[in-house]
Amino acid sequence: MNRKVSVAPMMDCTDRHERYFLRLISKNVLLYTEMIVSEAIVRGDKKKLLSFNINEKPVALQLGGSSPKLLATCSKIGEEFGYDEINLNLGCPSKKVQKNKFGACLIKEPNLVTDCLNEMQSSTKLPVTVKTRIGYDDVEDYESLFNFINLLKSTGVKTFIIHARKAMLGKFTPKQNLNIPPLKYEMVYKLKKDFKDLEIIINGGISSVDEINDHLNKVNGVMLGRSIYHSPYILADIEREIFKNLNVLSRKDVIQELVPYVKKETEKGTRMNQIMRHTLGLFHGQAGSSFWKRYLSENLCVRDADIKKIDHIMDKIKFNNVDTRVGQSA
């Protein structure tokens, strides 16, 4: 599994439509699902929650939960659905998640986490990985982080994705938790020095190829989140400069390739806005970007959008001077 660069699991963002769209731009980055709660999988519509297009691969399933048995069951189900990795969320700080006892609050219960990881690994042949933070509330010293990772390592887990911020449990909103706690990359770098046998992926506030290259000198991989959602064509730069793949679609070609997918999905009952909302940032920083966002918002990203309008989207790009070149993203 190549985890050199990956796109973070993001609630209400990295659904199957977003992942299909991103895969049109990048053939090499590892993609993650949104966090999916283990109880929802066991009790709900598994096909609706877990189905994905084969073209999205490689794709990892991120689970949220704290029941070792349920997480084990879901790990097995994830393997059966064709995912390439199972990831346990130990980083989400939202109050709703805490109430249900999963996410970042589990950092406070390391023995329970080890039970979960042991059960998960016993139920699947897929790699089981962890996404966590450097600490929580007033616990943000390196020794605590080291001890936590060292304990989890004893389960056999080899890959740790570390968001280089602590989680403020019950004090900040999820949005504030993404901005207010300071980034402490040096703690993640030190983890890699102290755990040379582990694959350490760094996450948090990373938005350019230069930053990626700098981090890759110190850790095994880099995970990007919001920067990709708001400006997805950054992935084109990553393809060319990190993966040395020069066969990258232009922005125009990305949309042209997306249109048949949109038509096929709407025939199945998917609303067009559920797909096209993910493309709002495709032309970020380019000539015509404002027109693109306005046109989508008024025509293709409304709840009852007319599917016939998708047939005219290429003309709208052409005649409104939207810059579609393969040049670097802004």
Q: In this predicted structure, what is the pLDDT of residue 221?
A: 98
- The residues, any chain, with a CB within 8 Å of residue 13's CB and separated by 6 or more, are 34, 229, 278
User: Which are the catalytic amino acids?
Assistant: 92
Q: In this predicted structure, what is the pLDDT of residue 168?
A: 86
Q: In this predicted structure, what is the pLDDT of residue 287?
A: 87
Q: Compute CA distances 188 → 103, 146, 156, 165, 241, whole Å.
A: 19, 10, 20, 10, 24
Q: Compute CA distances 10 → 32, 110, 187, whole Å.
A: 8, 24, 23
The structural domains of the chain, ordered by start, are 5-241 (3.20.20.70), 251-319 (1.20.120.1460)
Q: In this predicted structure, what is the pLDDT of residue 330?
A: 46
First-to-last C-alpha distance (Å) of the chain = 29
- The residues, any chain, with a CB within 8 Å of residue 66's CB and separated by 6 or more, are 101, 102, 106, 109, 112, 116
Rounded to an integer, what distance in angstroms lies between the CA atom of residue 278 and that of residue 273? 9
Q: In this predicted structure, what is the pLDDT of residue 280?
A: 97
Strand positions, DSSP E, the chain: 5-7, 30-37, 59-64, 85-90, 128-133, 159-163, 199-203, 221-224
Mean pLDDT by 10 residues, the chain (330 residues): 97 97 98 97 97 98 98 98 98 78 93 98 98 94 98 98 91 73 96 98 97 98 97 98 97 96 96 97 92 94 91 81 58
Q: In this predicted structure, what is the pLDDT of residue 124?
A: 98
Q: In this predicted structure, what is the pLDDT of residue 125?
A: 98
